[in-house]
Amino acid sequence: MPMADRKARPGADARKPTHVEASQAKILAAALPHVAFDGWTLRLMREAAEAAGVDHNEMRLAFPEGALDLVDYFLADGDRRMAEALAGEDLAAMKVRERITRAVRVRIEADGPHREAVRRAVTLLALPTSGSHGPRALYRTVDAIWRAAGDTSTDFNFYTKRATLAGVYSAVTLYWLADRSDGFADTWAFLDARIEDVMRFEKAKASVLGVVEKLPDPFALLGRLRYRE
């Protein structure tokens, strides 16, 4: 398995983790208790590596791009834990909207114990210096959600589904980060409302496409008008 795939899905299968993967997991575990206070920094990563017994060379091999790689690994680990949790549920018995709603909630709940770490990650990835790390991580998450929900599309819908969900997931995550309601009840109500918005849009789009398909071909009409005797 390529390194990129191992980073994106840490511990995603039952095989024994490689030495690099083991180092990544150790450093993340050592870093998480301190992220809320220190942020995702190179200094934190170095201290976490030292605390985890990972030497400097191993640390650099595990996270070549420093703290940004550590953040990426943290977010990918949340995707993995979401997929594991959903694998034990009967999503096939649900409607698509219910599957997506459930998957988004489980993904957010996967990071429940580390909400401040997520806040710090969002802040870091929003900086221009983070380059494409943020968009790549967001795409990976929404792709993991759709795959967990059983999506098998390969046409243009593959991209539109992920683009739409990226907007929903981003909005719900930001809402969750500021939510003070009991059990995050307001967040889940906000999620339901956003999914409902998407479903209304999809119905309207399908209705418009249905009407358009029944309209005569404008180019054919022009041709008949042009060459009418």
pLDDT tens digit at each of 229 positions of the chain? 334 444 444 444 567 889 999 999 999 999 999 999 999 999 999 999 999 999 999 999 999 999 999 999 999 999 999 999 999 999 989 998 899 999 999 999 999 999 999 999 999 999 999 999 999 999 999 999 999 999 888 888 888 889 989 999 999 999 999 999 999 999 999 999 998 887 775 555 555 445 445 444 444 444 444 444 4
Cβ(173)–Cβ(188) below 8 Å: no
Total tally of structural domains belonging to the chain: 1
In this prediction, residue 14 carries a pLDDT of 60
Q: CA-to-CA distance for 166 and 135, rounded, in angstroms?
A: 9
Q: Look at residue 228 and tell me if it is in a domain.
A: no
What is the 8-class DSSP label of residue 1?
A: -
Separation between Cα atoms, residue 173 and residue 72, nearest integer Å: 16
Close Cβ partners of 112 (under 8 Å, ≥ 6 residues apart): none
For residue 155, what pLDDT is reported?
81
**133: CATH:** 1.10.357.10
Number of Cβ within a 10 Å radius of residue 203? 10
Residues 3-25 as b/e (b if ≥16 CB within 10 A, e otherwise) read eeebbbbbbbeeeeeeeebbbbb
- Tracing tokens 């889940």 back to the chain, one arrives at 188
pLDDT score at 201 = 54
- Residue 197 forms part of a structural domain: yes
Q: What are phi and psi of 210, to 5 degrees?
A: -65, -40
For residue 130, tell me if it sits in a domain.
yes
pLDDT score, position 161: 87
What pLDDT is stored for residue 80 in this prediction?
96
Asked whether residue 22 is assigned to any structural domain, the reply reads yes
Q: Quick count: other Cβ atoms within 10 Å of Cβ 132?
A: 9
Structure tokens at 98: 């219910």
Give me the pLDDT at residue 75, please: 98
In this predicted structure, what is the pLDDT of residue 221?
44
Q: Using the 8-state DSSP alphabet, how is residue 17 labeled?
A: P
Instruction: Identify the domain containing residue 77 by its residue range.
Output: 3-220
Q: How many residues does the chain have?
A: 229
Asked if residue 49 belongs to a domain, the reply is yes
CB 35 within 8 A of CB 114: yes
Is residue 102 within 8 Å of 86, Cβ to Cβ? yes
Has residue 225 been placed in a domain?
Answer: no
